[in-house]
């Protein structure tokens, strides 16, 4: 800072105004760490000031020399006094700087983000889209009706369709670079190539483009009309229209589907006959029973067994408290009326699930939760059921709260506690990876504690299945602070992204703040791609080493992907066999007064009245309920609880 010291000797004078100090000798400017002599007289003081280069006063002190000498004479004059001058810098922060510093502390929850789901059909890249103006389907030529995201639109050629018509698209995307490259080297067995003959046309009444579905604007020469099939399109859409002149896509798709289904039936019949002919019993019946009777008997082989599992409804539960809330729906503390046992019930709104095109994500979450019973560090699912408006997950109630709630009260965890949580999280993550599942949303908010203080990973809505061996995916998703650099760079990735997120979580547990910072998402993502985290001096050598290896930006070189993370020195005192059996006592046990205690959850949610959100009836009536036909599920453990 370039500070310097000034010393002024002043002596006391007594006059009409009382005691007054006057400086009789020049001001001294002694160098730092130097010494000087001063005569001691009664009433003499030493005034010491510290100033910066601009002569601005930073600190000052006044010492009475005679009293200092008196203290030195005590204890036979052996008392030694050292005066250390501490330089204190005071800065006035602007509002923007204070807001930026606020991002460093872990004082708020952070929501996950996910790129819109892309449906690739015939090289089209369809995504759910909200149409702000009346739009018509390019397949069936009917109005795309509904609220929110009513249909799909191709990101390449802008073709608009109903969600129900996505299976009826028969032409390849003309705006796709993939398509144009492939068509030069490959010819399909079934191909339609009937070019349109477009001419500029003046429309005298409101007309809609039959490609993108929107209105043809203007007073004259608004668009183009095909001379052969009378198709109307925008000028901008002409080059994106497929060569399907005179072809009705809807009827053609239905005809092709009929042919395909008949071929499938024939294949199934041949396969069935092949299996049955290998049975001696079938061969014996074949000799004595007519062909017509055999055709009636054959379906009996495929009769499914009746499901005797009891079905649950929301009326079987009493909703006591709301534990959390988001755009997806709500999480409640619920009591099963029959047994009095408490559960966490997650209620998703069907209209929101459909609007965000998250039906498959919801089904993935149900399947992953069903697998969770095989591992003690994953949240267990008891059953799922649905109503016309909602989807319900009935899960075990973890009344210890999440790690975000606990770290807000203590700023950071001690090394022993952080190591324990990290080890149990590793067990849960490695189990998911062994099943070919990438978690993709590891964060403090999604790690909960049970009544004994052991962790449970929750919320599997971001999971990706079937990721064994060399499989890769490219969906942009996750919570911004935890997203791995390969996701930000648009690269295909595997389970390596979970180990990066694990590194961020471990850093937050040990240090109490996020490793990467930014005033907005753009700055944050830039920091993740380029910056190196700051490691405090007090951090242990092993803790710093594991964090450095987890923050390697080359996915294949990252700890967890390369090397056995369990053998790292950071976990040298961890008994992994005992840990996996939950035989290691937790270093922290949450305060719980009863099975229904919810004191470890945010008060802003608990104080709200527990009630299901009402959906728009018009929208719900238009929901295709068959999309959720395989959602309901009952775990055998729930049957035992209900039978008590």
Which helix or strand (DSSP H or E) is residue 323 part of?
Answer: strand 317-325
The answer to whether the annotation marks 331 as part of a ligand binding site is yes
**Degrees to nearest 5, angle at CA 344 with 338 and 346:** 115
Per residue, the 3-state secondary structure of 511-539, as one string, reads HCECCCCCCCHHHHHHHHHHCCCCCCCCC
Whether 395 and 343 have beta carbons less than 8 Å apart is answered as yes
The answer to whether the annotation marks 328 as part of a ligand binding site is yes
The answer to whether the annotation marks 131 as part of a ligand binding site is no
DSSP label at residue 171: S
Q: Rounded to an integer, what distance in angstroms lies between the CA atom of residue 500 and that of residue 552? A: 8
The answer to whether the annotation marks 323 as part of a ligand binding site is yes
Q: Kindly provide the residue ranges of all beta strands, DSSP E only, lying in 412-535, ordered along the sequence.
A: 447-449, 455-457, 477-478
The answer to whether the annotation marks 329 as part of a ligand binding site is yes
Quick one: tokens of 520?
């907005």
DSSP percent split of the chain into helix, strand, coil, nearest 5 = 35, 20, 45
| 3-class state of residue 448 by DSSP | strand
Q: Rounded to an integer, what distance in angstroms lies between the CA atom of residue 546 and that of residue 536? A: 14
Q: Dihedral, CA atoms, 457, 460, 466, 471, nearest 10 degrees? A: -80
> Angle, to 10 degrees, between the axis of helix 415-434 and the axis of helix 496-511?
170
Q: Rounded to an integer, what distance in angstroms lies between the CA atom of residue 170 and that of residue 149? A: 23
**Degrees to nearest 5, angle at CA 384 with 380 and 388:** 155
Which helix or strand (DSSP H or E) is residue 127 part of?
Answer: strand 124-129
Marked catalytic residue, from 351, 357, 358, 441: 441
Q: Rounded to an integer, what distance in angstroms lies between the CA atom of residue 151 and that of residue 622? A: 13
CB neighbours of 454 closer than 8 A, spacing ≥ 6? 376, 377, 424, 582, 586
**Degrees to nearest 5, angle at CA 313 with 592 and 146:** 110
Q: Rounded to an integer, what distance in angstroms lies between the CA atom of residue 598 and that of residue 603? A: 9
| 3-class state of residue 16 by DSSP | coil
Quick one: tokens of 288?
């004595």
Quick one: tokens of 282?
């079938």
Q: Rounded to an integer, what distance in angstroms lies between the CA atom of residue 149 and that of residue 153? A: 10
Handedness of CA 114, 120, 125, 129 (dihedral sign): negative
Quick one: tokens of 410?
């203590």
DSSP label at residue 194: B
| 3-class state of residue 248 by DSSP | coil
Quick one: tokens of 622?
């238009």
Q: Is 441 a catalytic residue?
A: yes
Return the number of other C-beta atoms located less than 10 Å from residue 341's C-beta: 17
The answer to whether the annotation marks 324 as part of a ligand binding site is yes
Q: Rounded to an integer, what distance in angstroms lies between the CA atom of residue 505 and that of residue 512? A: 10
Annotated binding site for ATP: 323-331, 346
Mind telling me the catalytic residues?
Answer: 441
Instruction: Summarize the annotated binding site as residue ranges.
Output: 323-331, 346
């Amino acid at each position: 800072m370039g500070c310097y010291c000034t010393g002024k000797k002043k002596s006391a004078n007594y006059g009409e105004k009382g005691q007054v100090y006057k400086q009789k000798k020049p001001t001294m400017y002694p160098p730092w760490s130097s010494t000087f002599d001063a005569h001691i007289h009664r009433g003499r003081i030493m005034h010491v000031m510290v100033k910066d280069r601009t002569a601005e006063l930073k600190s000052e002190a006044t010492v009475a020399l005679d009293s200092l000498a008196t203290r030195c004479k005590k204890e036979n004059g052996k008392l030694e006094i050292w005066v250390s001058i501490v330089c204190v810098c005071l800065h006035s922060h602007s509002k923007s700087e204070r807001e930026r510093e606020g991002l460093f502390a872990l004082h708020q929850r952070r929501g996950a983000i996910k790129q819109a789901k892309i449906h690739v059909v015939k090289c089209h890249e369809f995504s759910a889209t909200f149409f702000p103006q009346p739009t018509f389907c390019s397949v069936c030529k009917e109005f795309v009706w509904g609220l929110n995201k009513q249909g799909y639109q191709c990101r390449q050629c802008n073709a608009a369709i109903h969600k129900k018509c996505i299976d009826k698209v028969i032409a390849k995307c003309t705006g796709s670079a993939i398509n144009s490259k492939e068509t030069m080297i490959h010819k399909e067995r079934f191909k339609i190539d009937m070019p349109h003959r477009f001419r500029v046309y003046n429309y005298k009444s409101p007309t809609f483009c039959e490609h993108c579905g929107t209105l043809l604007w203007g007073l004259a020469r608004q668009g183009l009309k095909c001379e052969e099939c009378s198709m109307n399109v925008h000028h901008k859409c002409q080059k994106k229209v497929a060569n399907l002149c005179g072809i009705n896509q809807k009827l053609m798709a239905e005809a092709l589907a009929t042919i395909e289904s008949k071929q499938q039936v024939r294949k199934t019949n041949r396969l069935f006959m092949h299996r049955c002919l290998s049975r001696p019993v079938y061969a014996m019946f074949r000799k004595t029973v007519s062909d017509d009777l055999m055709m009636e008997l054959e379906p009996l082989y495929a009769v499914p067994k009746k499901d005797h599992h009891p079905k649950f409804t929301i009326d079987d539960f009493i909703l006591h408290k709301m534990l959390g809330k988001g755009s997806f729906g709500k999480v409640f503390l619920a009591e099963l009326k029959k047994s009095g046992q408490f559960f966490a019930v997650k209620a998703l709104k069907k209209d929101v699930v459909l609007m965000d095109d998250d039906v498959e994500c919801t089904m993935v979450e149900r399947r992953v939760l069903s697998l969770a019973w095989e591992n003690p560090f994953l949240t267990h699912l008891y059953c799922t059921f649905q109503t016309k408006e909602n989807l319900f997950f009935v899960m075990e109630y973890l009344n210890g709260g999440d790690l975000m709630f606990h770290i807000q009260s203590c700023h950071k965890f001690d090394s022993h506690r952080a190591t324990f949580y990290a080890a149990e999280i590793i067990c849960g993550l490695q189990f998911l990876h062994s099943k070919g599942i990438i978690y993709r949303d590891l964060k403090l908010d999604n790690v909960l504690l049970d009544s004994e203080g052991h962790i449970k990973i929750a919320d599997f809505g971001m999971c990706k299945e079937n990721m064994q061996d060399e499989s890769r995916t490219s969906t942009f998703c996750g919570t911004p602070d935890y997203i791995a650099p390969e996701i930000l760079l648009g690269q295909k990735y595997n389970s390596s992204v979970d180990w990066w997120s694990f590194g961020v979580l471990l850093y937050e547990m040990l240090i109490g703040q996020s490793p990467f910072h930014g005033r907005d998402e753009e700055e944050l993502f830039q920091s993740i791609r380029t910056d190196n985290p700051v490691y405090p001096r007090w951090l242990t050598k092993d803790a710093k080493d594991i964090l450095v290896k987890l923050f390697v930006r080359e996915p294949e070189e990252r700890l967890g992907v390369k090397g056995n993370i369990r053998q790292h020195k950071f976990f040298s005192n961890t008994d992994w066999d005992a840990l996996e059996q939950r035989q290691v006592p937790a270093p922290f046990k949450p305060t719980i007064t009863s099975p229904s205690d919810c004191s470890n959850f945010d008060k802003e949610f608990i104080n709200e009245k527990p009630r299901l959100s009402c959906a728009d009836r018009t929208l719900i009536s238009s929901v295709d309920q068959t999309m959720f036909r395989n959602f309901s599920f009952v775990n055998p453990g729930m049957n035992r609880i209900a039978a008590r």
